[in-house]
Amino acid sequence: MKSNILVTGSAGFIGSHLCERLLQLGYNVIGLDNFRDNYDPLIKRENVHSALEHPSYKLVEGNILDADLVDRLMKQHNIDILVHLAALAGVRNSILTPLDYVDTDIKGTVIMLEACRKYGVSKFIFASSSSVYGNGTVPFRESNNLICQASPYAAAKYSGELLCKTWHQLYSIPTVCLRFFTVYGPRQRPDMAIHIFTKAISRGLEVGIYGDGSSSRDYTYIDDVVDGIVASIDCKCAFELLNIGNSNAVDVLTLVRIIESKLQRQAHLRFLPQQPGDVPKTLANISKAANLLGYSPKVKLEDGIERFISWYRLKN
Ligand code: NAD
Ligand code: UGA
């Protein structure tokens, strides 16, 4: 008999893929999401469509900031594992609405940690971010000294990690903080580059490039990220910080070229000012996750983009 898992942010990009995988693996999954309108909630409705057909899935529409609701769910469903993905996730947008990020990403995490303390769980997984490394030197290692985060979002995710560590020290909650690196694939959020560029190039619209196009990211395919989350549910960890990346940095202009070649259409580039909050480069050293979880990303960027485009064409 598999455990009962609460997944917050279950209607989002990563959350919806994770729930489907957990259901395949035989878990009882309780999804919590408030379908907020940071992007079109209809997209989130579609994301949960397939999980909802599964008898072991229960979707609860509600807010992670509602501590009474979270208490009820923990009790009622005898939650054993909590995967906390719900957050406001945009880096650049966090400069416009920082207080919203503090509420959702910091306060929301404390509410989850308190639920873990009160009801006891065998594992708490926190969705952290490559952005905690700020302008640090690549490749990013978990042992790096973190100097300064470049955006309110990044600072909120770093605060989340610190809170996880404190709750672990106080209450021995087994905890894994996963630092995801720019995740992509079917259902990617519409505010992220691969989705924006595919839409613009398909429609013959201008592609806005921040800076000179040299900023690079360690783009990581969704199935590999889900592999990393599932492995950290299974691992016998007390407290760990782990990079979940692809360990292959690609600059924005190269990314556009790959999308152009897959779509067989030329992009019309428009160079825009560098955005505050963006970092020039991310690149994960993934040896710690490889050793502890057996994590080994499998999907190459070209193949992952092809899969994203197939999904995009079906939906548009
Ligand atoms: P997403 O926006 O698609 O999913 C987040 C979900 O959380 C959304 O469905 C949203 O409705 C829900 N949510 C937000 N506030 C809520 C609240 N108060 N109560 C209940 N639900 C709420 O984002 P995503 O890209 O799937 O990211 C998932 C997690 O992974 C986030 O914590 C994000 O910071 C982290 N992360 C994502 C990436 C990436 O590249 N996508 C990289 C690093 C970290
Ligand atoms: C992504 C996610 O959006 C965050 O949720 C996540 O926390 C973060 O990864 C992470 O790794 O932790 P980001 O790397 O900014 O953030 O991802 P994209 O929005 O896809 O941007 C990728 C690159 O494209 C950046 O260099 C950005 O400057 C550039 N970009 C983006 C453009 O040039 N033009 C655009 O219109 C959008």
Q: What is the CATH number of the domain that holds 161?
A: 3.40.50.720
The minimum-distance atom of ligand 1 relative to the CA of 183 is: 40
Which residue ranges have their beta carbon within 6 Å of ligand 2? 89-91, 129-131, 180-182, 192-193, 196, 208-210, 215, 217, 252, 275, 278, 282
Q: Which domain, by its residues, includes 227?
A: 4-180+221-246+284-297
Cβ 69 under 6 angstroms from ligand 1 = no
- Mutate which of 85, 182, 194, 269 for ligand 2? The one with the most ligand atoms within 8 Å of its CB, which is 182
* Nearest-angstrom CA–CA distance, 110 and 65: 9
In the residue annotation, 171 being an active-site residue is answered as no
Sheet-wide strand order for 28-33:
57-61, 28-33, 4-8, 81-84, 123-129, 175-180, 239-244
Residue nearest to atom 19 of ligand 1 (CA): 63
Cβ 244 under 6 angstroms from ligand 1 = no
- In this predicted structure, what is the pLDDT of residue 85? 99
- In this predicted structure, what is the pLDDT of residue 2? 80
Count of the separate structural domains present in the chain:
1
- In this predicted structure, what is the pLDDT of residue 109? 99
Using alpha carbons, select from 166, 141, 171, 173 the residue that is nearest to residue 291: 141
Domain assignment present for 258: no
Domain assignment present for 75: yes
Domain assignment present for 95: yes
- Mutate which of 18, 69, 85, 232 for ligand 1? The one with the most ligand atoms within 8 Å of its CB, which is 85
Distance (Å) from CA 109 to ligand 1 centroid: 12
Domain assignment present for 211: no
Contact 2, 29 (CB under 8 A): no
pTM above 0.95, yes or no: yes
Ligand nearest, relative to CA of residue 189: 1
Name the catalytic one among 27, 57, 153, 295. Answer: 153
Domain assignment present for 253: no
* Nearest-angstrom CA–CA distance, 308 and 190: 12
Domain assignment present for 99: yes
Give me the residues of the chain with pLDDT under 50, please: none
- In this predicted structure, what is the pLDDT of residue 290? 98
* Nearest-angstrom CA–CA distance, 313 and 316: 5
- In this predicted structure, what is the pLDDT of residue 304? 98
Contacts 24+ apart (CB under 8 A), 101-106: 101/152, 101/153, 101/156, 102/152, 102/156, 103/65, 104/64, 104/65, 105/153, 105/156, 105/157, 105/159, 105/160, 106/156, 106/159, 106/160, 106/163
Contact 158, 132 (CB under 8 A): yes
Domain assignment present for 123: yes
